[in-house]
Amino acid sequence: MPLTSDEIDRYARHLVLRDVGGPGQLKLKAARVLVIGAGGLGAPLIQYLAAAGIGTIGIVDDDAVSLSNLQRQVIHSVPDLGRPKAESAAEAVGRLNPHVTVEPHVTRLTPDNARDLIGRYDIVADGSDNFDTRYAVSDACFFERKPLVTAALGQFDGSLTTIRAHENGPDGRPNPTYRCLFPSPPPPGAIPTCAEAGVLGALAGVMGSLMAMEVIREIVGFGESLVGRLLMVDARAMRFDTVRYEWDEGNPLSGSGV
C-alpha cells in the first residue's frame, strides 16, 4: 500500500534520507517484527520501531508492570502498574503512531511455542533477560529461517549482534548461529539477575535504540549488518568495541555433523 499524506508528513525525515527514501519506508510499512520482551531493552526498541513506521509489531511478554521497572522501562508509566507489559506497550504504541498494528502476546516464549510465534513474523528482536529464552528464540529463528537481532544488558555494559544463520555469507560458508557465539548457557546462578545486580537505566535506552536501528537496517538494507560481529558497549569508559565471530562447524544447528 502506498503511503498516505499523513504518513508522508510523519516520515518526512526518513523520506529525504537517500538510503531509506520512499522504497525503504514502504518496506518498513510492510514489515512484521516480533519483539521478545517489553522490558528494559524492549521498551525503547518498541517505541523507535513504532515511530519508524513498522507496519506490524508483535510483543511477547508474560510479566506485569511493577514500580521498579519504571527506572528504565520507559514505555510504561505509573497508571500501568499491575497491567500486562505487552498490553501496556501496545497501548503506548497506539498513542505514538496509529498507523502501526500491534499484536500483544501475553505469554512466555518457550521451546514449545517459539516456532509458532516466530513463524508469523519477518524478523525477530530479542530483548529477553534470561538464557533459556535466548536459546529458544535463536533456535526457532534458525528453523523458521528468520533473521534475529539480539541484545543483552549487564550492570554497565551491553552487547548486540544480528543472526542470519539460515543463510550463507559472501564466502559461501554458513553464517554463524547464536550457538557459534555462545555454545552453551552459563550454569544456573553464575550470572546475577537484574534484580540482584542492578542495571543503569539509561544504558537500556542506548541498547534498545541500537536494536531498533539494527532491525530497521535489516529491513531497509543500508550500511553494514552486524551479522558475524558482536558490538560491545562499556558505559563506564563510554567505549564501543566490535569483535568478529564465525560459523563453528561443530554447532548443533548447522554444523558439519548435522
Amino acid at 213: M
Cβ count within 10 A of residue 19? 11
Q: What are phi and psi of 80, to 5 degrees?
A: -90, -5
Q: Would you tell me how many other CB atoms lie within 10 Å of the CB of residue 245?
A: 13
Active site residue 141: no
Q: Which residue has the cell 514500580?
A: 67
Of the candidates 194, 213, 235, 253, the residue annotated as catalytic is: 194
Measured CA angle at 167 (ends 37, 19), to 5 deg: 75
Q: Which residue has the cell 510479566?
A: 63
Q: CA-to-CA distance for 87 and 102, rounded, in angstroms?
A: 9
Is 89 within 8 Å of 42 (Cβ atoms)?
yes
Q: Are 147 and 140 a contacting pair, CB within 8 Å?
A: no
The answer for residues whose C-beta is within 8 angstroms of residue 99's C-beta and 6 or more apart is: 4, 6, 7, 10, 29, 53, 55
Listed residue (32, 29, 31, 35) closest to 105, CA to CA: 35
Contact 227, 150 (CB under 8 A): no
Determine the Cα–Cα distance for residues 129 and 153; give it in Å rounded to an integer: 8
3-state secondary structure of 18: coil
Q: Tell me the catalytic residues.
A: 194
